Chain A
Amino acid sequence: MGNIVLKGLSKKFGNVIAVNNVNTEIKDGEIVSFLGPSGCGKTTTLRIIAGLERPTDGKVYIDDKLVSSKECFIPPEKRNLGMVFQNYAIWPHMTVFHNVAYPLKLKKVSKREIKDKVIRILEMVGMKGFEERYPEQLSGGQQQRVALARAMIMNPIAMLFDEPLSNLDAKLRERMRFEIMDLHKKTGITVIYVTHDQAEAMVLSDQIVVMNQGSIQQIGTAIQIYCEPVNKFVADFIGIANFIECKLVELGKDNHSGKVQILGESGKNPIECLIPLSQKVTLDQEGTIFIRPEDITLLPIDKGEHVVQIERKAFLGSIIDYRIKVGKKEWRIETNPGVNLDVGEKVSLHVKKAVFLTK
């Protein structure tokens, strides 16, 4: 139990397509993040699952039961989900106790049982002793814990998080991430987590659903979407990437590696780079390769073939951020602080890994 299936889900607001044919399955007990820039449709998808919006097209199944489609609509209060909102949505006219107790009160649970359960769950989120406080007396982090307790008190089928940490400061955000993970471990509940913060998605999730302009771009684990992005959007949105228009001029026998010629740079030596096996490429094919800044090594001039000059340099503590110019494009390279080169110095490039994105 606890699985959620989205089939051909679409939502239009007037002429704007907010969600466009979304298909995915969230398995019981998984943490799945919906990741994407603002306006990509991730929050709308979540709200459709919650029953706060009705889809224009498609179906939502919760626990193998149809809850939303063109004909059928189960209202949010009958879906038994828990939801944590971006701005907490703690009711300002109720104490912490009453906020958390409200779902139970609606179900006509006895007063004693309500008290027991509320105290227990407040203890779990570390808010015991705050029962009589009003929300305005709590910090943002504390309000978020109350929201968490309120969402969990009914033992919902799944928990929905709508950018719950984006209003918190960086340190607290990091701590809350791990607390959410701990809670998930303890309860084993299905979690759908909407965020625009890739680090958050990568820390938390079993699966990440990357969305853009209403459509799913890629579904995969953190490693998959970082190392094997399927398109330019995913590559660009997750982490930093250098994109280079190029042509494949040499293909290794094992199809593991090849050499590319940067377009508009004929005459210069081609750059050798590794291309993952999953990519089917042919000789002379044109496309874009993308290279993560940490996948480029800078070597002395005589050790490599492609000689470039350091244009800019920034020391960032754990790494040094170099900029070089290849053709008309500026590349970004990150090295460990041990590699200390000066601006103007000439070096040669070695690309450890690249992904070839066919056009």
Chain B
Amino acid sequence: MKINIQRIIFILAIGIMIILIAFPLALLFYKSFLKENTLSLVNYIDVFSEKNNYLPFLNTLKIGALTVIFATAIGVILAWLVARTDIPFKGFLDTLLLVPYMIPPFIGAIAWTQLLSPRVGYINKIFMKIFDTSQGPFNIYSLMGIIWVMALYNYPFVFITVRGALERMDPSLEEAARISGAGRFEVMKDITLPLVVPAIVSGMLLVFVFTIANFGIPAIIGMRSRIYVLTTQIYRYLRMYTGGFAGVRLAAALSTLLMCVAGMAVFASNLSKKKYAIIVGKSVRPGIIELGNWKYLILAILSVFILITLIAPLASIFITSFLKAWGIPVKLENLSLKNYSYILFGYDYTKIAIKNSFLLAFSAAIITTIIGSIIAYISVKTEIKGRKILDFLTTLPYSIPGTVVAIAMILAWSGQFGVKLYYTFWIILVAYIARYMFFAFRNVSASLEQIHSSLEEAARVSGATWLQNFRDIVIPLIRPGLVASFLLVFMPTLRELTISILLVGPRTITIGTAVYNLQEEGLYQITAALSGLIIVILFIGNYLVRKVINIKTTNSI
């Protein structure tokens, strides 16, 4: 009986994943070689023969590379300070430094345009007042502007991986070097740094993949000054031909290109996964370096860093969202909650967007949690042959840029195969499920791995069937993991931009696309109110996730 139920579920899961993921991506790859029904490289030659195409490609690489450098520098230094020094307010710093991780990058980009826009940005205005000039010193609408914002919203990936490696490293490795005659500096150079290099490299590749896949930041900052990257150029092609075939074909070719670059980075990161066994099981105190009087200088620099990179953008978003009109001075009598009541109750466009996004996020979170749990169970708890394929299919869309996933969905579900979902609510939902399944899968897998098989075996011996065991033992034990996985899909889909902007129709607008379109139309204070709303929701969500995960660790099985 057990084998049969498991096998049926496995086949169903494989089928769903093939339809959701393998088929659209394969189709995209195939279509990128197709012109007038013959296989050729014409699309790629078209792509590279035109300046409109190879410039975005070069920009993508340039922004990717420079962002990696800046984000790594920031991330490694901060990780070292938090993990290995006696800097005060560590817990507080740790939380603050991870805040950029929660803020959607496109909202960060909007905040930075508010701060560093040449004539009206808040920071530029301050400089203009002090030095009495007609233009501020910074221009966000530039390649450096894109890289700056990218680095600020991506350094947490380096920070998290490197801090983890530094904290969990067996301190006796460094102590052994001290005893061997190495001073502090030599220990850092010969032991600590080489041992965290794998963590740094994997953080760097993560940043690279996320940077080249990002749409929001180059769209909001770059398009205005005609700096295009692959993701924004794909968006332009679709818009230019309003979804016509020529546009889709060119977009498909660029998408394949983007997929290849991202694929190479992911491949490289898998190669670099060869991690040293530097982690010890028992809890250890890593060697803490005393900063002495440097402590205060470093704390001051950190405070300025946090003030500029974290407080300023958030303050800018919220202040703008309370402004009665864009451009008027920030005075108490000019502030109100009018914008919030307008987007929530007055303005149809945002009302629809909020309703759609909540509906999409809720459905996507429920469906991915259910399917993700089943796949996780098959992967972790059974020996079924072919479960690795399921693993692979689930993980794949996570490493593929959202833009590519969206284009693949358009190709697969725009009627050619009898299913016409383009411009409907459903195509967005399908794309979200494909893309975010991995989050649910990873979370539930982690929970399942903590359940020792003897717990299930005890249930079976006590007389439970496989299904009863699943219902009465497995589900209750992984409940915190299920809740976390729901929230971890719900939050990013609620504010999703990259995929939805390519898939929305006139009536299926989402919060992300609404924010983007309103920003483009110059309705800055309404954009800010909508952004503020998202930020508040995301903070609450992240707080809940932390609570749930804490419960999980205290009742660890």
Contact = CB atoms under 8 A, between A and B. Distances in A.
A87 B178 contact: no
A77 B178 contact: yes
A77 B172 contact: no
Interface stretch (A14-22, A102-110, A322-330, A338-346): A102-110
A281 B553 CA distance: 56
B280 interface: yes
Interface stretch (A78-86, A172-180, A226-234, A292-300): A78-86
B276 A50 contact: no
B181 A107 contact: yes
Contact of A87 (B180, B181, B190, B280): B280
A91 B175 contact: no
Interface in A30-72: 50-52
A93 B194 contact: yes
Contacts of B183: 75, 77
Contact of A81 (B179, B194, B195): B179
B172 A102 contact: no
A79 B280 CA distance: 27
Nearest to A81: B179
Contacts of B181: 77-78, 80, 103, 106-107, 154
B459 interface: no
Interface residues of A, number: 30
A92 B276 contact: yes
A77 B182 CA distance: 6
Contact of B176 (A78, A89, A136): A89
A76 interface: yes
A92 B278 contact: yes
A87 B282 CA distance: 11
Interface in B135-194: 170, 172-173, 175-183, 186, 190-191, 194
A89 B178 contact: no
Nearest to B284: A87
A323 B176 CA distance: 48
A259 interface: no
A150 interface: yes
A151 B280 CA distance: 21
B324 to A, nearest CB: 54
B277 interface: yes
B177 A102 contact: yes
A179 to B, nearest CB: 20
Interface string B261-284: 000000000000000111010000
A89 B175 contact: yes
Contacts of A80: 181
Nearest to A84: B176
Given A76-B175, A85-B172, A89-B170, A106 B180 contact: yes
Given A102-B190, A136-B277, A89 B182 contact: no
Given A86-B172, A89-B173, A77 B179 contact: yes
Q: Which among B175, B182, B183 has the highest number of chain A CB atoms within 10 Å?
A: B175
A83 B176 contact: yes
Contacts of B172: 85-87, 89
A55 B219 CA distance: 59
Given A75-B183, A102-B190, A136-B277, A91 B173 contact: yes
Nearest to B285: A13
Given A85-B175, A106-B186, A92 B180 contact: no
B178 A52 contact: yes
Contacts of A150: 176, 180
Interface in B265-311: 276-278, 280
Contacts of B178: 51-52, 75-77
B172 to A, nearest CB: 4
Nearest to A106: B181
Contacts of B280: 87
A162 to B, nearest CB: 8
B311 to A, nearest CB: 33
Nearest to B178: A76
Contact of A83 (B170, B179, B277): B179
A51 B176 CA distance: 11
A78 B186 CA distance: 13
Contact of B180 (A77, A86, A136, A160): A77
A92 B277 contact: yes
A106 B182 contact: yes
Contacts of A83: 175-176, 179
Contact of B191 (A52, A78, A91, A160): A91
Contacts of B179: 50, 52, 76-77, 79, 81-83, 151, 160
B276 A102 contact: no
A274 to B, nearest CB: 45
B370 to A, nearest CB: 40
A282 B280 CA distance: 55
Contacts of A82: 179
Contacts of A50: 175, 179
B355 to A, nearest CB: 54
A202 B175 CA distance: 28
B285 to A, nearest CB: 9
A93 B276 contact: yes
11 contacts: A77-B179, A77-B181, A85-B172, A89-B175, A91-B191, A92-B173, A93-B276, A102-B180, A106-B182, A136-B277, A151-B179
Given A91-B195, A106-B181, A160-B179, 13 more contacts: A76-B175, A77-B178, A77-B180, A77-B181, A82-B179, A89-B172, A91-B177, A92-B173, A93-B195, A102-B177, A107-B181, A136-B276, A151-B179
Closest 8 CB pairs of A and B: A92-B276, A89-B172, A103-B180, A89-B176, A76-B178, A85-B172, A83-B179, A106-B181
Interface of B: 170, 172-173, 175-183, 186, 190-191, 194-195, 276-278, 280
